[in-house]
Amino acid sequence: MIIDTDNLFCEGCPALGLRDKKWIKHCESLREKQIDSTFLVGMFLLCESIPKKRFVYDLKTDYNNDGLRYNLRRELVNGENDIDLLQYLRDNFVLIIDCAFCPLYKLESKKDRRLAATLCLERHNHKYLDLNPSAPIITIFPKKVGFLKRKLPDLATRVKHSFRFNDVRGLKKEIEKHKNDTEEELLETLNELLPRNKQIPKKYAKKLLEFMLVLDGIFQTPQDKRNEDLNLAKELISAAKQDLIASKLLFDSNDKANSIYHLQQATEKIAKAYGLSFFALDKTDLKKIGHRTPNVFIELFNEEWVNPYLKLIQFTNPNFKNDVDVKKFRSIVKTKQVEIGKLNADGIEPILRLNRRLKEKLGGKQFSDKTKKKIKPTLKIVLYDSLQNKKIVDRIMKEVVDVFFDSVFVKTFSSFSILYLISVVTYPHFEYPRYPDGEIKPDEYNNLGVTKYYSEISEGLEEITTCLEEYIKSIIDCRNKLDSILDEEE
């Protein structure tokens, strides 16, 4: 932990009688979680002290009608929920710090409050502010309290603006103005690492910063979740391959209905494995999705963790628009199931034609080179910001990142959209082939479009399956190589 809450030095502090070690430890652990989930700290909001029974980063405590979180919520996110507030703070690199651990408002004397705030900030909480010594500080104090600036002149010079506790109007403007400065500073830092002829123009500063946040969000997936998700993905792939074998055997024996059923099952499992292997879905999501395979993609667009992946696409392909209407999409999947299932060859062909175009465009060298050219320099600065060691970063870029991108990443990432199209034409058949009295009778399958184009669909799914297996193997190999590099360089 940044602060050892088990060994606090509080001698001579007027608030010593208010100290609650258990509460302090709880609050500071939540603050550190917020720090861990923030790409960088570019600004501090410095408040007087932690209240007795609630804490700004503890969403289980009540700030419905008053208090700091209530005031910030009204100013920064138009009164929306607390989750939106914390996300806003992360997106704008803002960390909330308290001068003191104890509830200083319980002290009668404002003189004692100022002294307690100063002592605790000097002895303990300055360590948070030292995370980025160049970051400005905005104070949010009640009237005539806060730390004694003459006692802490170095911190006093970093205070760029002060707000009253109950009136933070104008804070959002200050935060967003500073974020623009941060974007330019990061761009300068990145350009220092790049050759002169590869410099990134200033107009891309905002996009660059967004993309760095994207990568940081992806990298922060906990390791134990990665392992669990990859293992489950591999199990699904293995089961999908068995479904594909069964599907081919049944197709060759002229049992078209059951063949298409197993084709749908294979598609469903591969789609779920994709979601898991990109650390986007978990076991709970798989249960919600059920057998309607397009729901995998609906869940992706419906969850906030997909934003990094969408922004990644937008960064490499500026014309991409995320305008998916999730509710409408979900309704179509549910209500148009029979119509989609009964599509004839003429109805299926345009979908597969689009599939072929996507395969040609996304799988081509131009798309691959363009994606790598945009992502890799940004990834380099993310690594440098984290490791602060150019030698290690250069090794990681050469021995891990280059290998990963040159082998499977772009190919796997681009094939996801192709899998979506296959899922659309196959998902209705999780149900109908099994029941003779269903909306689509087993003997109708001989004339369905999905049957007519069976070879193209099954071969496409086989390619995607192989690609996903290579991707998962590459993730594991690159992770092991990364661990090896970090161990060697320690």
- Using an 8 Å Cβ cutoff, are 376 and 401 in contact? yes
In the block, tokens 């806060």 appear at: 146
Mention every residue, 6+ apart, whose C-beta is less than 8 A from residue 228: none
Per-residue pLDDT reduced to its tens digit, 249-261? 999 999 999 999 9
Return the bridge partners of 98, or none: 47
Taken in order 169, 55, 159, 113, the sign of the CA dihedral is positive
In the block, tokens 């350009």 appear at: 191
pLDDT above 90 for 241: yes
Task: Label residue 433 by pLDDT band (50, 70, 90).
Answer: confident
The residue with greater pLDDT, 364 or 1, is 1
Q: Amino acid identity of 422?
A: I
Q: What is the DSSP string of 386-404?
A: HH--HHHHHHHIIIIIHHH
Angle of helix 454-489 relative to helix 345-362, nearest 10 degrees, comes to 30
Q: What is the DSSP letter of 167?
A: B
Q: What is the DSSP letter of 152?
A: -
- Using an 8 Å Cβ cutoff, are 59 and 28 in contact? no
Give me the pLDDT at residue 17, please: 94
Per-residue pLDDT reduced to its tens digit, 163-215? 999 999 999 999 988 877 766 666 676 666 556 666 666 666 565 555 555 55
Q: What angle do CA 221, 464, 337 make, to 5 degrees?
A: 95
- Using an 8 Å Cβ cutoff, are 50 and 125 in contact? no
* Length of the chain (residues): 490
Give me the pLDDT at residue 95, please: 95
Give me the pLDDT at residue 150, please: 94
pLDDT above 80 for 351: no
Distance, first Cα to last Cα, the chain: 21
CA proximity to 107, closest of 133, 144, 136 = 144
Three-state DSSP class for residue 151: coil
pLDDT above 50 for 122: yes
Q: Amino acid identity of 217?
A: G
Q: Could you tell me the strand order of the sheet in which 43-49 lies? A: 94-100, 43-49, 137-141, 159-164
pLDDT above 70 for 401: yes
pTM above 0.95, yes or no: no
Mean pLDDT of the chain: 80
The residue with greater pLDDT, 303 or 393, is 393
Task: Label residue 18 by pLDDT band (50, 70, 90).
Answer: very high
Give me the pLDDT at residue 324, please: 46
Three-state DSSP class for residue 307: helix
Q: Tell me the C-alpha to C-alpha distance, in Å, between residue 354 and each of 145, 276, 332, 351, 468.
A: 65, 26, 19, 5, 21
Per-residue pLDDT reduced to its tens digit, 267-301? 999 988 887 876 566 677 777 777 777 777 666 65
Per-residue pLDDT reduced to its tens digit, 298-317? 666 554 444 544 554 454 44
Give dist(CA 387, CA 390) in Å, integer: 8
Tell me the domain boundaries of the chain. Answer: 16-178, 216-489
Give me the pLDDT at residue 408, please: 64
pLDDT above 60 for 321: no
Give me the pLDDT at residue 309, please: 47
Give me the pLDDT at residue 316, please: 46
At 97, list the tokens. Answer: 């710090």
Give dist(CA 465, CA 488) in Å, integer: 35
